[in-house]
Amino acid sequence: MSLLAAEPAPVLTDALLWLGRNSLGGAALIVAGLLLFRAFPRAFDARWRAAFGFAILARLVLPLAPESRFSAENLLPSADPHAVPKPSPAFLAELARPAPAVIPMPEIPELALPPIPEPAAFPAPLDLGFVPEPAANQTPASQAPAVPSPSPARIPIRIATAFASIPLVAWLAAVWLAGAAGLLLAAALRAIRLARWIRHRPAVGDMRTLRAVAEAERLVGLKPGTLRAVIADGIPGAAVFGWRRPVLLISPEMTAAFSDTQLLGVLLHELSHIRRHDVLWNWLAHLVLALHWFNPLVWLAVRHFRADREQLCDELALGHLPPPQRRAYGEALLSLLQSLSIPQPHPARTAPSLAPFLSRKNEIKQRIAMISNRKKPLPGVVHALAAAFFLGAVAVTFTSALGDEERRAPEREREPARSPEAERGDRGGRHPEADQPGRRPAPEA
């Protein structure tokens, strides 16, 4: 049996179709966002890019997309298996020709068949003189020769036959499930290892660092005294671990090398992650990535999603600092980029349970460029243009294609009225009275 011969489960088929359609819709929104960011870099700041990231996550898990004429799926060919190709004009003209007069066929007399003779009596069975052997003389079942067991050489053939009988949809679902489970299991194990490692880290006892943490809590709006701060060797700068009970990880090298202003800026950045629940969003983005792990554009979108929220936390931290101290924040980023060796990949960057201050080197350079090129707020017209592009991209990607009847409705309206001859041609070129035997159709006026 071939892979396509077996009938797959309808629920499994519908689930894979839903996954594929959402992955295509999300990919279209990702491409639209990347093109808009490249064409209008100043209009789409960190806030708009983060909004695009949230919209992409929502599109990838959208349960149902409503039909719309503005959907990008209308550009795709119809997938109706019962769709009939439109006939050519020459074929329609041939059908529109009037049919010739119908000549009645002569009646064929009924043939008289000869009667079937009765079958002769079957002869009696011949007596061959055979007498069955008594049951007492038969060989017992225990002494009967054993049935030979199947040859070991045929076992792989039977296994291959069993695997070949599995539907193709089941194979695809198994491969997808293995990839999704692998990503989620790896993230869970990484979070467990980090939690065990953090549990044995000593608490921060430096009064200078504790005062900076308290000041950052006050500026961000967190309840003072509820955040646990620990010393974490190997973490680049600082990071936040966890969502429900966040833990602030502080590198001792950073506290020794940074000034009070630089230390406050880094802590403001990390506490902004707590304020915005970025660790929770990391987990949600990783869950969406596990669902669409086969789509490379989703990997790119999740990476940009985290990088955009890092820049958004930079802007929030700079907003809490006076203008003379904002330069020190950029110098802190530059100092960490030059002094700390960030291995590739670093667990602080790959773990969804962690929101680090540093990530990829190229992303750090973009953040430094954003801080150095920080200018006055853009006018409202630019934000209105960005909003229009954003809503347009959402409108064409959050909807599905129209049905085949709705697609063909404008074409039917543009078609000219059909003549009676064409209508008769659609019925096979026959006059309605021609179907009655023995009657000639009346001549047309």
DSSP assignment letter at 136: G
pTM of full prediction above 0.75: no
Mean pLDDT comparison of 114-118, 213-217, 358-362, 423-427, highest-scoring range? 213-217
- Whether pLDDT at 441 is above 60: no
Residue with the two structure tokens 């929502």: 58
> Among residues 242, 385, 240, which one has the least CA distance to residue 313?
240
Name the least confident of 253-267, 356-370, 410-424.
Answer: 410-424
Residue 32 is predicted with a pLDDT of 92
Residue 343 is predicted with a pLDDT of 47
Provide the pLDDT confidence category of residue 61 given band limits of 50, 70 and 90. Answer: very high
Helix axis angle for 46-60 and 278-291, nearest 10°, is 40
Long-range residue pairs from 29-32, CB within 8 A, at least 24 positions apart, any chain: 29/55, 29/56, 29/59, 29/393, 29/394, 29/397, 30/56, 30/297, 30/298, 30/300, 30/301, 31/297, 32/393, 32/396, 32/397
Residue with the two structure tokens 């809503």: 391
Provide mean pLDDT across the span 320-338.
85
DSSP assignment letter at 248: E
- Whether pLDDT at 233 is above 70: yes
Q: What is the CA radius of gyration of the chain?
A: 38
Residue 395 is predicted with a pLDDT of 87
Q: Is the dihedral of CA 324, 326, 329, 331 positive or negative?
A: negative
C-alpha distances out from residue 75 to 20, 65, 67, 218, 402, Å: 17, 16, 13, 53, 10
Provide the pLDDT confidence category of residue 2 given band limits of 50, 70 and 90. Answer: very low
Provide mean pLDDT across the span 326-348.
69
Mean pLDDT comparison of 55-64, 138-147, 381-390, 393-402, highest-scoring range? 55-64
Provide the pLDDT confidence category of residue 168 given band limits of 50, 70 and 90. Answer: confident
HSE-CB at 15 with a 13 A cutoff on CA atoms is 14
- Show the DSSP H helices in 78-206 as ranges: 89-96, 155-164, 168-199
Q: Which is higher by pLDDT, 45 or 189?
A: 189
Mean pLDDT taken over the chain? 77
Q: Which residues pair with 355 in a beta bridge?
A: 240
Residue 285 is predicted with a pLDDT of 96
Q: What percent of the chain has pLDDT over 70?
A: 65
